[in-house]
Amino acid sequence: MFDDFTLETVDVGEVKLRVRHGGSGSPVVLLHGHPRTHTTWHAVAPLLATEHTVVCPDLRGYGRSTLPADRPDHAQSSKRAMAADVVALMAGLGHERFAVVGHDRGSAVAYRTALDHPQAVTRLVVMDGLPIVEHLERTDARFAQAWWHWWFLGQTEKPAERVISADPDAWYRTPAPEEMGRANHEDVWVAFHDPGVVHGMCEDYRAGLGVDRRHDEDDRAAGRRIACPTMLLQAGQDDLDIHGDPAAIWAAWLEHPLAHRVVDCGHHQAEEAPEQVASALLDFLG
């Protein structure tokens, strides 16, 4: 897995990130979603590395990256904090400007990186994600039922960690090792059995319901939009269209017309359709 990539832990200030990087050419950082680690990109990253320098970190609180002490507003797990990690990581590796690709929760980190650090981000790709505030403002019974984990993981009075870590084997579901890659499967299951990682993932969702929403609202009120070219990769067998056309929702956040491609797979695009994903990324990143 990740042949010819370097695996290291990088201190970015507030946290230490586990990261793999390799290849050569213009830099791109790949950000995983919940409940994965950076190894979800194991089949995509080598395909991109023929033309790009590819950087794959564990987000703070996920995998083997660290997480600061909890704050009352959960801001230690905000997408703003994670975006700052990404910029510091890439600068530490010698990349002041780079493309950013994010899937699921990683897509929220990716667009936050583009909004907070426009001077650093050359291109943005969001995979199966919308701005957090757009989801929350459209919440109805159908969305709450289908995406119920947002509310469960975000609870604080009866923390989800107690339920999950009591029996992680009963809680989590993944494809078989041969389907998602044996090393990837092993890595993510090690994370599932780490109560600290489970807590970090819950804090991600708690931040999403509060501080992340406020950051989105502030940007929208100030008229800030994403300045770089942006592409949406939408899994054709997932339900990102639960609120209607996701491309239409994204349009209000962008200064450039959105590139929009549908990938013929389920939610975990990088594992289910790595060739399609890599092809789309190579076309868009140029």
Give the active site residue among 34, 117, 260, 267.
Answer: 267
- Residue pair 12/88 in contact (Cβ under 8 Å)? The answer is yes
Of the residues 32, 52, 85, 104, only one is catalytic, namely 104
Cβ-contact 76, 67 below 8 angstroms: yes
Provide the 3-class DSSP secondary structure of residue 280. Answer: helix
Task: Extract the runs of DSSP E, i.e. beta strands, from 183-251.
Answer: 230-235
The residue whose two tokens read 């491609």 is 261
267 is catalytic: yes
Count CB atoms within 10 A of the CB of residue 177: 13
Contact 283, 261 (CB under 8 A): no
Contact 149, 201 (CB under 8 A): no
Active site residue 219: no
- Supply the residues annotated as catalytic: 104, 267
